[in-house]
């Protein structure tokens, strides 16, 4: 076990992500939280790092902005005796995979919902990941200063659409132009308007009181109302979060469960950020510390490479500044300068052979064959494709039908990113051929004979993922449906870990 001073450091850490559909107010809320922490002093400071809406089809512009956003990848600050790490998630849906992976590195999440729009697609998808991982979530109903949906309808919608029980913790005094303030339901003012008095009666009758255990299990979400823009209801959320959100949680490795208070350091890589500037071609590998304490210039064991490594210039992220750090604790994220040693999912330890689970790949939605367009540059192309896949830019499959490489992504932009980077970083040229595929499903079965028959019959639709696992490429929802009916013992998974 760690000495108690180090244990206290870990206990006071709160590492979370804010997730939302674009425009619900994630950036504004993040910024207000940073203002409370004294980490920034003027509103608007985070804004410049946001991927601007106008840039949706111009990925170079997006990459430029993503470049700036290295500094906002993790925003650390102290508040009320706690150390908070907010892990940023890209707003653009074509980088959804980045967001999924970031969610594997947090101990809790805040879901921001625009109270005029209710639950939107991106929120629903991200929440699925939280549910799968049983991540505790809090819900912030934002933009109450605008005319929006009825608060009870919003809670109903959140319960139904996000698949989680909800209970309000704060309530808004009015909505739209009449919106002024919020109050804590369990500490409500003596004088309330008739309408709010009625609301309170309904709440007392319908909703359970907040149960922290249920929240920590991922079964119950406390709901807050407010306006990030007007800075109303934000402090209530933050105060509740520091007292109720979990400190770093145990993390499951294939070999055993790792407890944050263990004295031996362990960490896993959940994100690699490449520098697109050809003059500074280094990457930063982001590691979430799962246990113990990380020290600069100390040898750690890179499990996959079976190699000891030490880091002279690890960075931590305080507010929007990247700083070299001498030590960091379980719950923190350290950025390690990298020249191609790391890939997503890599584990660092103090010597133990550990492999962290829970960094699944998600079934991509767009598929293309990638072919070499310059016969002299075959090697460069292979190297480039492999490295970009290690960084988690997209997923690679090998068709069992013809041995060709298939790249799977969640959005068109990723293909453009790959092509550009192959050309500029690896001097390789590629061409694409679209595959009209619907989903890639990882398959498993207890029934070996049935699995065998399936693999033979569907040979032309089978591929291997980068770990050599069998993947069924269904070309339509209908085909997938039929396969599920015909092969009752085969499970079709939309993520690579099940």
CB of 89 to ligand G4P, least distance (A): 10
CB of 151 to ligand G4P, least distance (A): 14
Please choose, from the candidates 285, 317, 319, the residue with its C-alpha nearest in 3D space to the C-alpha of residue 304.
285
CA 312, 315, 316, 319 torsion-angle sign: positive
Applying CB under 6 A, which residues contact ligand G4P?
Answer: 20, 22-28, 50, 91, 142-143, 145-146, 227-229
* Residue pair 127/113 in contact by the 8 Å Cβ criterion: no
CB-nearer residue toward ligand G4P: 100 or 210: 100
CB of 64 to ligand G4P, least distance (A): 18
> What is the radius of gyration, based on Cα positions, of the chain?
24
CB-nearer residue toward ligand G4P: 53 or 424: 53
CB-nearer residue toward ligand G4P: 99 or 142: 142
Output the CA–CA distances (angstroms, integers) from residue 469 to 331, 405, 474, in the order listed: 32, 15, 16
CB-nearer residue toward ligand G4P: 30 or 496: 30
Tell me whether strands 266-274 and 283-291 are parallel, antiparallel or unpaired.
Answer: antiparallel
CB-nearer residue toward ligand G4P: 182 or 336: 182
CB of 54 to ligand G4P, least distance (A): 11
CB of 275 to ligand G4P, least distance (A): 24
* Coil vs helix vs strand at 294: strand
CB-nearer residue toward ligand G4P: 30 or 247: 30
| 498 vs 493: CA distance, rounded Å | 7
Burial class (CB in 10 A: 0-12, 13-18, 19+), 272: buried
What tokens does 61 get? Answer: 């512009």
The H-assigned helical ranges of 250-393 are 378-390
CB-nearer residue toward ligand G4P: 115 or 349: 115
CB-nearer residue toward ligand G4P: 320 or 372: 320
CB of 150 to ligand G4P, least distance (A): 17
Strand partners, 348: 267, 302
* Chain mean position to CA 494: 17
CB of 91 to ligand G4P, least distance (A): 5
Burial class (CB in 10 A: 0-12, 13-18, 19+), 239: middle
CB of 20 to ligand G4P, least distance (A): 5
């Amino acid at each position: 076990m760690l000495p108690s001073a180090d244990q206290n450091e870990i206990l006071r850490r709160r590492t979370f992500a804010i997730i939302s559909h674009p425009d619900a107010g994630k950036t504004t809320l993040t910024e207000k939280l940073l203002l409370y922490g004294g980490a920034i002093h003027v509103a608007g400071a985070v804004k410049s790092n946001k991927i601007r809406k106008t840039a949706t089809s111009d990925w170079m512009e997006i990459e430029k902005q993503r470049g700036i956003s290295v500094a906002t990848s993790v925003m650390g600050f102290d508040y009320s005796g706690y150390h908070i790490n907010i892990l940023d998630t890209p707003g653009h849906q074509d980088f959804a995979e980045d967001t999924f992976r970031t969610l594997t590195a947090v101990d809790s999440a805040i879901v921001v919902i625009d109270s005029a729009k209710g639950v939107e697609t991106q929120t629903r998808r991200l929440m699925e990941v939280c549910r799968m991982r049983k991540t505790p979530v809090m819900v912030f109903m934002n933009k109450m200063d605008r005319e929006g949906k009825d608060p009870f309808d919003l809670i109903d919608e959140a319960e139904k659409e996000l698949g989680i029980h909800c209970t309000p913790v704060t309530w808004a005094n009015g909505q739209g132009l009449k919106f002024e303030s919020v109050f804590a339901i369990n500490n409500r003012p003596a004088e309330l308007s008739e309408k709010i008095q009625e609301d309170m009666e309904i709440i007392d009758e319908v909703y359970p009181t907040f149960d922290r255990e249920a929240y920590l299990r991922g079964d119950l979400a406390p709901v807050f109302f407010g306006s990030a823009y007007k800075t109303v209801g934000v402090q209530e959320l933050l105060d509740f979060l520091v007292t109720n959100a979990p400190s770093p949680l145990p993390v499951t490795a294939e070999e055993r469960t790792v407890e944050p208070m263990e004295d031996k350091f362990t960490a896993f890589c959940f994100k690699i950020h490449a520098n697109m500037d050809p003059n500074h071609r280094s990457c930063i590998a982001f590691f979430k510390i799962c246990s113990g304490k990380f020290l600069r210039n100390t040898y750690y064991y890179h499990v996959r490479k079976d190699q000891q490594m030490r880091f002279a210039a690890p960075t931590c992220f305080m507010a929007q500044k990247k700083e070299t750090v001498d030590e960091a604790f379980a719950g923190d994220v350290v950025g390690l300068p990298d020249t191609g040693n790391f890939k997503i999912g890599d584990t660092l330890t103090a010597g133990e052979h550990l492999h962290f689970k829970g960094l699944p790949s998600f079934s991509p939605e767009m598929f293309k064959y990638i072919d070499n367009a310059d016969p002299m540059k075959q090697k460069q192309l292979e190297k480039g494709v492999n490295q970009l896949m290690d960084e988690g830019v997209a997923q690679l499959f090998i068709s069992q039908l013809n041995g060709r490489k298939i790249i799977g992504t969640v959005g068109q932009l990723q293909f453009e990113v790959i092509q550009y980077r192959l050309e500029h970083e690896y001097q390789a040229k590629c061409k694409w051929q679209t595959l009209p595929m619907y989903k890639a499903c990882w398959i498993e079965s207890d029934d070996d004979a049935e699995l065998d028959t399936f693999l033979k019959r569907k040979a032309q639709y089978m591929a291997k993922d980068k770990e050599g696992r069998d993947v069924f490429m269904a070309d339509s929802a209908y085909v997938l449906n039929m396969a599920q009916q015909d092969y009752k013992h085969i499970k079709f998974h939309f993520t690579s870990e099940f």
